[in-house]
Amino acid sequence: MIEPKSRVESMLKKLRAHQFRVTPQRIAILKVLVCSIEHPTVERIYEQVKSDFPTTSLATVYKTVTLLKELNEVLELGFPEGSNRYDGNKPYPHPHVICIKCKKIVDPDLSGLADMTTELKKETGFKIIHHRLDFFGICPSCQKKYK
Amino acid sequence: MIEPKSRVESMLKKLRAHQFRVTPQRIAILKVLVCSIEHPTVERIYEQVKSDFPTTSLATVYKTVTLLKELNEVLELGFPEGSNRYDGNKPYPHPHVICIKCKKIVDPDLSGLADMTTELKKETGFKIIHHRLDFFGICPSCQKKYK
DNA sequence: CTTCATGCAAAACATTTGCAGCTGG
DNA sequence: CCAGCTGCAAATGTTTTGCATGAAG
């Protein structure tokens, strides 16, 4: 388990290092990102931030999340159908398992992707920069529900 | 290499089997899908279909492509930023390598995903239905161009 | 002939943008 | 102070939808 505090600190440090400003809104957003295990949507982050910072706007959440993504402090999981989801705890590519019923997203322990990229480079000539691996299925609790 | 003719036939067969109608527009769209190696967007399919069938509408292309997806005769690659891409030749999950500059998509030869799903089932309890594996990078010709 | 498909335009929806005013450093 | 951030509303771009007309079976 990563210490939430240190992740928040590292994000703040990154902001300062690039001379972006540390505003109360940004602090609130990045706290939600780090404390969420659920891979929240922007809308969800917005709700949580508003509860103790009521004047925050949705646009600011979008802007902050995009900024953190560009600084590699957040992993964006884009979905064409429905909203994007964000992971502030493991801001690097890793596999996800997604429930197609309840939209829950979990991080499984899986290895064996790194060696594929060297194989790929040889075969395709591409310079590989990042990847995305999602498994879609039905989670245990939805399996019961819909049986 | 799959025979284009047989893929078109199998799509038509599937349509008839589910009592969907075989219209000239649908035939034209599915021919483009099968003859494209480029993983076309809906817009791209639309252009090509219009050239020999000028009255076709974009909405019809969307509807047809969605129908074929539901019949498992086309693989949809959704992208949140930009348009979705379609593969009528290999309508089942398989890895893709995507150029982030020119948006080219190629199918690499890669194996070793099937065994991951059994591992996943054990670890997460999910019933895995499908997956998606994309590698993002820069293709050989864009590597030259931007050097 | 009946039902389903087409084509047009309008709607939907998440995300981005423009801009006036505010504020962190 | 002043560049950069915020919040609002309007714009964007892709995909979907409603509905009248047309064509497949």
The pLDDT > 90 percentage for chain B reads 84
Please give the structure tokens belonging to residue B126: 């999910």
Q: Touching check for A102 and chain B: CB below 8 Å?
A: no
What's phi and psi for A34, nearest 5 deg? -75, -35
The candidate with the shortest Cα–Cα distance to B21, out of B30, B76, B58, B41, is B30
The DSSP result for B73-100, as a single string, is: SSEEE--SSS--EEESS--S---EEEET
Nearest nucleotide, CA B21 to C1': D24
**In which region does residue B82 sit, left (phi positive, over 0), alpha (psi from -120 to 50) or beta (all else)?**
left
Is A23's CB less than 7 Å from nucleic acid strand C?
A: yes
For residue B62, pLDDT beyond 70: yes
The chain-wide mean pLDDT, for chain B, equals 94
A-chain CB neighbours of B128 within 8 Å are 97, 135-137
CATH 1.10.10.10 domain extents, chain A: 4-87
Please give the CATH number for the structural domain made up of B96-145.
3.30.1490.190
The whole-number pLDDT of residue B115 equals 78
Half-sphere exposure for B55 (CA within 13 Å, toward CB) = 2
φ/ψ (deg, to 5) at B65? -65, -40
Whether the pLDDT of residue B3 is over 70: the answer is no
| Residue linked to tokens 């979008």 | A62
Residue A55 DSSP label: T
> B20-60 pLDDT, tens per residue?
999 999 999 999 999 999 999 999 999 999 998 999 999 99
Residue B117 has pLDDT above 90, yes or no: no
- Give the highest mean pLDDT range of A51-55, B70-74, B118-122: B70-74
Q: What 3-state DSSP class applies to A128?
A: strand
User: What's the confidence (pLDDT) of residue A2?
Assistant: 64
Tokens at A78, concatenated: 């884009």
Nucleic strand D near CB of residue B42 (< 7 Å):
yes
The answer to whether A139 and B125 are in contact (CB under 8 A) is yes
Q: What is the mean pLDDT of residues B73-92?
A: 97
Q: What is the pLDDT of residue A69?
A: 98
Strand D positions closer than 7 A to protein CB: 4-9, 13-18, 23-25
Q: What are phi and psi of A111, to 5 degrees?
A: -130, -175
What B44-53 contacts at long range (C-beta under 8 Å, 24+ apart), as own/partner pairs, is B45/B86, B49/B25, B52/B28, B53/B24, B53/B25, B53/B28
Q: What local confidence, expressed as pLDDT, does residue A3 receive? A: 67
User: What is the per-residue pLDDT for B133?
Assistant: 96
User: Is strand C less than 7 A from the beta carbon of B59?
Assistant: yes
Å between A36 CA and D15 C1'? Answer: 31
Strands B96-99 and B105-106: antiparallel
- Closest residue by Cα to the C1' atom of nucleotide C14? A83
Residues of chain A falling short of pLDDT 50? none
Cα–Cα distance measured from residue A135 to residue A104, given in angstroms and rounded to the nearest whole number: 12
B110 interface with A at CB cutoff 8 Å = yes
Residues of chain A within CATH 3.30.1490.190 domain(s) are 96-145
pLDDT, residue B2, reads 64
pLDDT tens for each residue of A30-59: 999 999 999 999 999 999 999 988 999 999
Question: Is 1.10.10.10 the CATH classification of the domain at A4-87?
Answer: yes
